[in-house]
Amino acid sequence: MKILKALMVTTAVSLALMTNAAHAENKKIALVVKALGIGFFEAANKGAQEAAKELGDVEVIYTGPTTTTAEGQIEVINSLIAQKVDAIAVSANDTDALVPALKKAMERGIKVISWDSGVAKDGRSMHLNPSSSPLIGNMIIKLAADQLPDGGDVAVLSATATSTNQNTWIAEMKKVQGNYKGINVVATVYGDDLADKSYRETQGLIQSYPNLKAIIAPTSVGIVAAAQAVEDAGKVGQINVTGLGLPSEMAGHVKAGSSKSFAIWNPIDLGYSATMIAYDLIGGAEAKPGAELKMGRMGTVKLDDNNEGAMADPFVYDAKNVEEFAKIF
């Protein structure tokens, strides 16, 4: 009975979409998020819906548990398997816990990808990272250099001296430093992701390097504290604070002028790309090392040995768009 009903519905839908004659029915792509009601994921859904509209024959099911638990996500995934969706794109609450449920989905012919927060290799056909360390490293120095046509001294305010992410990004940044003429990285200091220490380190930078033109802080606590310290020292316009931060946290400082621009991944693009990749896989593309999958307006993503790919450069936020995104995340 249920099958009959479903068949009738799909027939009706496909009749309504006669223009897409090539496809017999709508492809159902489930976007599973860490939890419902989080601005970042609501924005990702916005992107997924955009992709669905562009593709025409796709229905995006936006779902997730109410709290960020792996158990909740497993329940959601099981119910999606029962609904016979064509693809699941998940941002996982736990790397390993979801693997059995997702394996079951793949055995039933459902395409599974992870995005934002990945699942272990066995539980998905590919993982979409929002960006990559080389892209981030390049972006943070580019943001500083773009405001300094004549070059100048810049300093890095990191988190702790042992934080892996920040160290990797800074190392990647230093690799491409030669591409930005006249940009001179004078110091790297550590604010330990504490507001007061980051603030003090920034004051130290201002004192030690009178010709400092920019501070790059690839950490959300650091960039906010540095911006505040620059404002308090009356150096707005002289020293530009940039790096990685969230629009909601940085909106005030962009308005105050201490930060001209900063970057972080764009959740809308991420949801859009995940949907596009899922669609590409449903259409027969294979996720294997070296493969290139289509992401619509975002271009293509090339998979590495772990079947992971990076979407794009971090997205740049400035006075023009920060207010709008501050409402999202």
Partner 1 sequence: MATLLKNREILLVIAIIALVFLIALRFPGFVAPANLARVYNDTSILIILALGQMAVILTRCIDLSMAANLALSGMVAAMVNAAFPGIPIPLVILVVVALGAALGSINGLLVWKLDIPPIVVTLGTLTIYRGTIFLLSKGAWINAHQMSDAFKALPRAPLIGFPVLSWLSVLAIAAVYILMTRTPVGRAFFAVGGNPHAAVYTGIDVGRTRFLAYCLSGGLAGLSGYLWVSRYAVAYVDIAAGFELDIIAACVIGGISIAGGIGSVGGAVLGSLFLGVIKNALPVINISPFAQLAISGTVIIIAVAVNARTEKRKGRVILKKAEAV
H helix count then E strand count, the chain: 11, 14
Binding mask 243-282 for partner 1 (x = CB under 8 A): -----xxxxxx-xx--------------------------
Nearer to partner 1, 204 or 296 (CB): 204
205-232: b (≥16 Cβ within 10 Å) or e: bbeebeebbbbbbbbbbbbbbbbbbbbe
Counting contacts by CB under 8 A, is residue 207 touching partner 1?
yes
Residue 119: name the closest of 60, 82, 77, 167 by CA.
77
Counting contacts by CB under 8 A, is residue 232 touching partner 1?
yes
Q: Which helix (H) or strand (E) holds 198?
A: helix 195-208
For residues 132 and 115, give the distance between their C-alpha atoms in angstroms, rounded to a whole number: 13
Counting contacts by CB under 8 A, is residue 203 touching partner 1?
yes
Counting contacts by CB under 8 A, is residue 224 touching partner 1?
yes
Which one of 48, 189, 217, 301 is in contact with partner 1 (CB under 8 A)?
189
54-78: b (≥16 Cβ within 10 Å) or e: ebebbebbbbbbeebebebbbebbe
272-287: b (≥16 Cβ within 10 Å) or e: bbbbbbbbbbbeebeb
Counting contacts by CB under 8 A, is residue 226 touching partner 1?
no
Nearer to partner 1, 54 or 193 (CB): 193
47 touches 268 (CB < 8 A)? yes
Counting contacts by CB under 8 A, is residue 306 touching partner 1?
no
Residue 226: name the closest of 209, 245, 210, 208 by CA.
245
Which one of 172, 201, 269, 280 is in contact with partner 1 (CB under 8 A)?
201
Which one of 96, 122, 196, 286 is in contact with partner 1 (CB under 8 A)?
196
Counting contacts by CB under 8 A, is residue 195 touching partner 1?
yes
Least Å distance between CB 194 and partner 1? 7
Counting contacts by CB under 8 A, is residue 199 touching partner 1?
yes
Counting contacts by CB under 8 A, is residue 228 touching partner 1?
yes
Nearer to partner 1, 292 or 323 (CB): 323
Least Å distance between CB 51 and partner 1? 28
- Residues near partner 1 (CB under 8 A) are 160-161, 187, 189-190, 194-197, 199-201, 203-205, 207-208, 224-225, 227-228, 232, 248-253, 255-256, 326
